[in-house]
Amino acid sequence: MLTVYEAVEGVLIKQEGSVPISPAAVWIDLFNPTKDEDLSVEQALSITVPTREEMSEIEASSRLYQEGGGHYMTAVVLHQPDLPFDAPVATPITFILAGTRLVTVRYAQPRAFSIFLTRAQKKDAVCMTGAAVLVGLLEAIIDREADRVERIQGEVDKLSHSIFSGKGAERTRTRQFDVMIQLIGREGELTSRSRESMLTLDRLTTYLGHVMGERGDEKALRARVKTASRDVRSLADHIGYLSAKITFLLEATLGMINNEQNTIIKIFSVLAVALMPPTLVGTIYGMNFKHMPELEWVWGYPSALALMVVSAVLPWMYFKRKGWL
């Protein structure tokens, strides 16, 4: 879908229907574009629209480069799928700065785009040129990433409290360990995706700062790009801290599971040792020899039972005194 936006009195106006790209257009948005839409933009702006496969390449030279009259910048952005319980998905988005116009090529609907459009239509965002639109979009994307990092921070704090609080019965805590591992794995996966996104955004903002300096764009826009670059780096540092904490929580959870298993094995081992003496007593008096003096005792049977109980209790008391239980 090809959407053209024109800047009229500081507001982005969407051009309805299939209209040619006018000189007043500052933003051309290509969402799941067809070959005909790509061709129309290439002919109007004398640029080459990258394919989806080219956008997915991981080489820095394939994501940040200048070709013809346009500067090409590709970043990996997280977006939420239609289902609310699905984890965010990474998608590449290409920004092409061609003169005073911006071309975006995307195959997803990140919420940052709709947030920026809402601001631009209320005159809350500068959008008179393609560079201004690009900076505004990047700021909206970074704001969304910051919100996601805050949510990860809250989830990690909850996990940390659940793991180390020590509340609840031991059996209940044991059953919750598998759930905790799943939650830790989910947050770890989301953290790694956010880290990848921050890495690409950091490279993009650094490259954009140099490009805007060469183009001679407004100082205010260049200052906003520098601020966005600092925000991205601070978020990347915080994501690194969260990643280390998630790794620590995973190791701590696995250690607790190991301790639980060792405790269970220890209990079985102690029980086996404690039951050996009464087993020996029962084995002796279970033999059917003809000459056994105790067979004629009136109190022989209760005496044997008492001896079994005493032989089991004494090792148990010894283990408790040693602190093995």
CATH of the domain at 27: 3.30.460.20
80 and 185 inside one domain: yes
Do the Cβ atoms of 69 and 30 come closer than 8 Å? no
Contact between 107 and 33 under an 8 Å Cβ cutoff? The reply is no
When mean pLDDT is compared across 29-38, 138-147, 173-182, the lowest value belongs to: 173-182
Quick check: helix, strand or coil at residue 134? helix
User: Which uninterrupted H or E stretch holds 2?
Assistant: strand 2-8
pLDDT at 147 over 80: yes
Round to whole Å and give the CA distance between 133 and 158: 38
Task: List, in order, residues 6 or more apart from 160 with CB less than 8 Å away.
Answer: 245, 249
What pLDDT, in 10s, does the model give residues 243-281? 898 889 888 888 878 877 777 787 777 777 777 877 877
* 118 occurs within a structural domain: yes
In a domain, 32, yes or no: yes
- In angstroms, the CA 68 to CA 47 distance is 7
Which value, in Å, is the radius of gyration of the alpha carbons in the chain? 34
**Measured between alpha carbons, how far is residue 2 from residues 48, 132, 178 in Å?**
15, 20, 47
| Residue at 231: amino acid letter | D
End residue of a domain, out of 212, 235, 261: 261
Greater confidence (200 vs 299) lies with 200
In a domain, 295, yes or no: yes
Picking from 220, 237, 261, the residue at the C-terminal end of a domain is 261
Torsion of CA 318, 323, 324, 325, to 10 degrees: 90
Q: Which amino acid is at 9?
A: E
Confidence of residue 56 (pLDDT cuts 50, 70, 90): confident
Domain shared by 225 and 284, yes or no: no
Q: Do 313 and 203 share a structural domain?
A: no
Largest separation between any pair of C-alpha atoms in the chain: 118
User: Do the domain assignments include residue 280?
Assistant: yes
Q: Mean pLDDT of all residues in the chain?
A: 81
Query: Do 209 and 83 belong together in one domain?
Result: yes
The answer as to whether 267 is a domain residue is: no
302 with 207, same domain?
A: no
Regarding whether 244 and 279 lie in a shared domain, the answer is: no
Helix (H, G, I), strand (E, B) or coil at 55: helix
Q: Is residue 270 in a domain?
A: no
Burial class (CB in 10 A: 0-12, 13-18, 19+), 274: buried
Q: Which domain holds residue 315?
A: 275-322
Say what the pTM is.
0.75
Question: Pick from 239, 261, 283: which residue ends a domain?
Answer: 261
Residue 115 lies in a domain: yes
Number of domains present in the structure of the chain: 2
Question: 216 with 162, same domain?
Answer: yes
At residue 173, the pLDDT reads 55
The percent of residues above 70 in pLDDT, for the chain, comes to: 88
Does 268 fall in a domain?
no
Q: Same domain, yes or no, for 103 and 206?
A: yes
Is the pLDDT assigned to residue 118 strictly greater than 80? yes
Residue 171 binned pLDDT confidence (cut-offs 50, 70, 90):
very low
280 and 237 in a single domain? The answer is no
Where does the pLDDT of residue 226 fall: very low under 50, low under 70, confident under 90, or very high at 90 and above? Answer: very high
Higher pLDDT, 183 or 270: 183
Statement: residue 178 has pLDDT above 70? yes
Residues 32 and 118 in one domain: yes
User: In this predicted structure, what is the pLDDT of residue 216?
Assistant: 84
Same domain, 291 and 255: no
Instruction: Report the distance separating Cα 274 and Cα 270, nearest Å.
Output: 6
Q: Are residues 127 and 154 in the same domain?
A: yes
- The pLDDT value recorded for residue 227 is 92
Place of tokens 């360990």: 177
